[in-house]
């Protein structure tokens, strides 16, 4: 197959800056694409948290000129580095007025008030970077609303630029809830012409919707799991864009994310106190004892420990959990939770930890090491999301023999197979209704299997631990979409 030039633009990339799974994806997929022989390059903003010295970033000569419409011309510096343990170049767009602050998108759950300008700037800088490097992409791979404007820029401002003569665009949707909705004045900064401010393109209720414009102009869209690609066509999951997405159903794909098993494997994980594997789970038991100590929970090896790691956002089912939390805690179990997000939820879990010190412990904050320790130590992992485009933590859990308890939605449904006691098959416990009672029943079921069906629990563990979601496979799925885009463009040029 032809080797491609690919430019992947994302608002966050591990290990440089991360708020969620998008960073995991944009740090790992490029390495897998490189292994397939493609010339893949990554670009992200140089946020304040990106440590130039630690990552040995080099300043490129010459600044990028970025035309910000009514705001005038601005100049961005570019730093270059490599994705760790790879040859993949990553470029950082530096403009301190926009990115030299604490926080990626905002200081708390409210976004910065100039996020429209920040990501218009970044999107334009991506285009200018390709020109500066004389890198002629076959495909630009944009991700979520932040870089969705690239899709529009490619078809307007840069439509006749020779650098982008053969460039197609893939937009990955990692989360449809966040669409980048702003005051229509952003049109003047975007500078693509007000003729694009119509309900068929960027306009929504007299404001601008970046993701909407991105969807319209992209050559293809990927929704990170097959199930989610179907769900976003319905009013329950479409966040108002379902009919638009249905119009473009022909360019919609659902390639599932992979896992970076260099980071998430219990046999080589450097962040956990004891390593283990499918043939020897002694290390897992020790990890559990260690975590109980760290979180001041009673040292009991026989009690089932349920872990939770994630953003405390409605998406993650925290409303369901809080509605039946006391009922869940009536069982003889331990729960360990790590997360940040909604203020009410942070308060709620802090209070519950004080109220139930023998059963529940929480760490309100962001900490990658604790995330690994919880994955390793827990017997089960709770992820009752209302919607979940792909979800990574349940897949990490499988590898650590930590049995997921999930709601059957999006990637959770695609990656977790329900336990069948008769055949001793399955990898987790699934429920369907987004209701506290369904969640409670399923946790009760899981706890019952833990105590009373040892053989079943063992089977679940070994089924889970032998599952693999390799990036090399996901990368092939992306490769197919890229070729599909390129062939589509070739055909339309010939007609």
- Picked from ligand GLC, ligand ADP, none, the partner binding residue 339 (CB below 5 to 8 A depending on kind) is ligand ADP
* Residue 180 binding partner per list ligand GLC, ligand ADP, none, with a CB distance cut-off of 5 to 8 Å that depends on partner kind: none
Site for ligand GLC in 174-213 (CB under 6 A): 174-175
- Closest separation in Å from C-beta 232 to ligand ADP: 15
Asked whether position 390 contacts ligand GLC by CB under 6 A, the answer is yes
201 or 413: whose CB is closer to ligand GLC?
413
Q: How far is the CB of 105 from ligand ADP (least distance, A)?
A: 13
Stretch that binds ligand GLC, among 14-22, 355-363, 370-378, 442-450 (CB under 6 A): 14-22
Q: Give me the torsion for CA of 240, 245, 246, 251, rounded to 10°.
A: -170
Residues 225-284 that bind ligand GLC (CB under 6 A): 257
Q: From CA 288, how far away is CA 304, in angstroms rounded?
A: 10
Site string for ligand ADP, 329-348 (x = CB under 6 A): ---------xxx--------
Stretch that binds ligand GLC, among 17-25, 76-84, 199-207, 213-221 (CB under 6 A): 17-25
Binding of residue 388 to ligand GLC (CB under 6 A)? yes
340 binds ligand GLC (CB under 6 A): no
Residue 172 in contact with residue 141, Cβ under 8 Å? yes
263 contact choice in ligand GLC, ligand ADP, none (CB below 5 to 8 Å, kind-dependent): none
Place of tokens 């009922």: 327
Q: Which long-range contacts (CB under 8 A, 24 or more apart) does 413-417 make?
A: 413/227, 414/225, 414/226, 414/227, 414/256, 415/225, 415/256, 415/390, 415/391, 415/469, 417/463
- Long-range contacts, 290-298 (Cβ 8 Å, 24+): 290/373, 290/377, 291/336, 291/373, 291/374, 291/376, 291/377, 291/378, 292/334, 292/377, 294/373, 295/336, 295/361, 295/363, 296/357, 296/361, 297/334, 297/336, 297/357, 297/358, 297/359, 297/361, 298/334, 298/358
Question: Scanning residues 375 to 404, which ones bind ligand ADP (CB under 6 A)?
Answer: 390-393
Element of type H or E holding 6: strand 5-9
Identify what 310 binds: ligand ADP, ligand GLC, none; CB under 5 to 8 Å per kind: ligand ADP
Interaction residues for ligand ADP, span 6-25 (CB under 6 A): 20-22, 24
Q: At what angle do helices 318-328 and 343-355 cross, to 10 degrees?
A: 10
Candidates 71-79, 142-150, 365-373, 442-450 — which segment interacts with ligand ADP by CB under 6 A? 365-373
For residue 224, the partner it binds in ligand GLC, ligand ADP, none, with Cβ less than 5 to 8 A by kind, is: ligand GLC
Q: Which is nearer to ligand GLC, 292 or 340 (CB)?
A: 340
Helix (H, G, I), strand (E, B) or coil at 314: helix
Q: Give the nearer residue to ligand ADP in terms of CB position, either 311 or 352.
A: 311
Q: Could you tell which of ligand GLC, ligand ADP, none binds residue 311, using a CB distance below 5 to 8 A set by kind?
A: ligand ADP
Q: Residue with structure tokens 């975590």?
A: 291
Write out the two tokens for 371.
């995330």
Binding part of the chain for ligand GLC, among 21-29, 83-91, 192-200, 294-302 by CB under 6 A, reads: 21-29
Q: What is the C-alpha to C-alpha distance for residues 137 and 166, in angstroms, rounded to an integer?
A: 7
Listed residue (111, 108, 185, 176) closest to 148, CA to CA: 176
Does 22 bind ligand GLC (CB under 6 A)? Our answer is yes
* 313 in Cβ contact with 341 (< 8 Å): yes
Distance (Å, whole) CA 148 – CA 213:
7
Positions in the binding site for ligand ADP (CB under 6 A): 20-22, 24, 309-311, 338-340, 366-368, 371, 390-393
Contact residues for ligand GLC (CB under 6 A)? Answer: 20-22, 25, 174-175, 224, 257, 388-392, 411
């Amino acid at each position: 197959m032809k080797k491609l030039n690919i430019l992947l633009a994302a608002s966050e990339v591990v290990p440089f800056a991360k708020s969620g799974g998008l960073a995991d994806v944009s740090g790992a997929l490029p390495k897998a694409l490189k292994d397939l022989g493609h010339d893949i390059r990554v670009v992200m903003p140089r946020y304040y948290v990106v440590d130039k010295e630690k990552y040995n970033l080099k300043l490129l000569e010459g600044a990028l000129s970025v035309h910000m419409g009514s705001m005038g011309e601005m100049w961005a510096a570019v730093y270059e580095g490599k994705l760790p343990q790879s040859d993949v170049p990553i470029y950082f767009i530096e403009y301190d007025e926009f990115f030299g602050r604490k926080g990626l998108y905002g200081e708390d759950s409210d976004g910065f008030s100039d996020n429209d300008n920040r990501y218009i700037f970044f999107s334009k800088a991506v285009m200018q970077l390709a020109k500066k490097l004389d890198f002629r992409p076959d495909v630009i791979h944009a991700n979520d609303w932040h870089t969705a404007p690239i899709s529009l820029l490619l078809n307007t401002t840069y439509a006749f630029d020779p650098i982008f003569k053969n460039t197609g665009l893939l937009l990955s949707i990692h989360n449809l809830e966040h669409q980048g909705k702003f005051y229509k004045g952003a049109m003047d900064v975007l500078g693509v012409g007000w003729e694009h401010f119509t309900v068929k393109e960027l306009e929504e209720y007299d404001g601008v919707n970046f993701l909407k414009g991105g969807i319209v102009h992209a050559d293809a869209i990927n929704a990170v799991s097959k199930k989610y690609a179907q769900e976003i066509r319905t009013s329950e999951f479409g966040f108002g864009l379902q009919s638009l997405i249905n119009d473009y159903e022909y360019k919609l794909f659902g390639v599932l994310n992979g896992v970076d098993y260099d980071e998430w494997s219990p046999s080589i994980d450097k962040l956990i106190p004891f390593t283990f594997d499918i043939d020897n789970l002694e290390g897992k038991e020790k990890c559990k004892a260690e975590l109980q100590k760290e979180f001041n929970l009673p040292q009991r090896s026989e009690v089932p420990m349920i872990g939770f790691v994630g953003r405390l956002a409605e998406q993650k089912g925290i409303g369901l959990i809080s509605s039946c939390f006391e009922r869940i805690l009536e069982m003889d179990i331990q729960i360990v939770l790590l997360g940040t997000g909604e203020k009410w939820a942070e308060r709620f879990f802090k209070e519950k930890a004080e109220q139930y010190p023998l059963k529940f412990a929480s760490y309100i904050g962001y900490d990658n090491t604790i995330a690994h320790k919880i994955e390793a130590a827990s017997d089960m992992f709770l992820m009752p999301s209302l919607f979940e485009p792909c979800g990574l933590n349940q897949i990490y859990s499988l590898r650590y023999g930590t049995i997921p308890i999930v709601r059957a939605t999006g990637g959770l449904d695609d990656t977790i197979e329900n336990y069948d006691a008769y055949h001793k098959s399955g990898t987790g416990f699934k429920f369907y209704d987004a209701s506290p009672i369904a969640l409670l029943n399923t946790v009760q079921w899981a706890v019952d299997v833990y105590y009373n069906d040892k053989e079943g629990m063992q089977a679940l563990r070994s089924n889970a631990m032998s599952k693999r979601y390799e990036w090399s496979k996901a990368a092939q799925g992306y490769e197919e979409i890229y070729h599909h885009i390129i062939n589509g463009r070739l055909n339309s040029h010939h007609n």
